[in-house]
């Protein structure tokens, strides 16, 4: 199975020059602020302003995803897809999380979902669905999605109507 590339994007609310107030993020996350939970997940996932801790990153991503944060759902999906950071490979969970993230308006998750459809990961190989997912990723600014869409378009793959 192809590994899906982890693409984590720092949210614009965390400017490089800002010192992150972890306590404030934790309080906001406790109050179900999905952006704060996702931000904490990123901090622990990357060891920024806190000690690197993949278990906490996972927990914060999981909470943020439950609160419908598309980026957190994608990052969880990548963890399950790649089986890294202490998470066992689980293609079914990865697929479900990529799909949820894409439906919620995620960008890179639509490309990841397209890869699942194109390669028959958890689902029947479906190039039409792959092209549709890649198209959504492209529309949302993911160059790899555009490249994948173009590649399938050249092969004459059509969207299902």
Residue 137 lies in a domain: yes
From 103, 87, 107, select the one nearest 7 (Cα to Cα). 107
Residue 140: Cβ within 10 Å count: 16
CATH number, domain containing residue 133: 1.25.40.10
Residue 9 lies in a domain: no
Confidence of residue 159 (pLDDT cuts 50, 70, 90): low
In a domain, 127, yes or no: yes
Spatial neighbors of 16 by CB under 8 A, at least 6 apart, are none
The pLDDT tens digits of the residues spanning 103-129 come to: 999 999 999 999 999 999 999 999 999
Structure confidence by residue, pLDDT tens digits, 28-44: 999 999 999 999 999 99
* pLDDT above 60 (res 8): no
Q: What is the average pLDDT score of the chain?
A: 89
Domain count, the chain: 1
Residue 47 belongs to a domain: no
Alpha helical stretches, state H, 20-142: 22-30, 34-46, 54-66, 70-82, 91-103, 108-119, 127-139
For the whole model, what pTM was predicted? 0.85
Position 96 in a domain: yes
The token duo for 38 is 């996702």
In a domain, 50, yes or no: no
Would you state the pLDDT for residue 103? 98
The pLDDT, as a whole number, for residue 160 is 65
Would you say residue 159 lies in a domain?
A: yes
In a domain, 69, yes or no: no
Q: Which domain holds residue 99?
A: 92-161
């Amino acid at each position: 199975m192809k590994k899906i590339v982890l693409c984590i994007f720092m949210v614009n609310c965390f400017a490089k020059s800002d010192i992150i107030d972890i306590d404030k993020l934790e309080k906001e996350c406790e109050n179900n602020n999905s952006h704060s939970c996702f931000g904490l997940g990123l901090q622990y996932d990357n060891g920024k302003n806190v000690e690197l801790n993949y278990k906490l990153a996972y927990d914060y991503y999981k909470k943020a995803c439950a609160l419908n944060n598309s980026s957190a759902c994608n990052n969880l999906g990548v963890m399950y897809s790649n089986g890294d950071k202490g998470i066992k490979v689980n293609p079914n969970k990865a697929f479900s999380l990529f799909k949820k993230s894409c439906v919620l308006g995620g960008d890179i998750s639509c490309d990841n979902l397209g890869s699942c459809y194109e390669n028959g990961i958890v689902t029947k190989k479906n190039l039409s669905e792959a092209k549709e997912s890649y198209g959504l990723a492209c529309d949302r600014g993911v160059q790899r999605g555009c490249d994948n869409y173009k590649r399938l378009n050249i092969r004459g793959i059509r969207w299902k109507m």
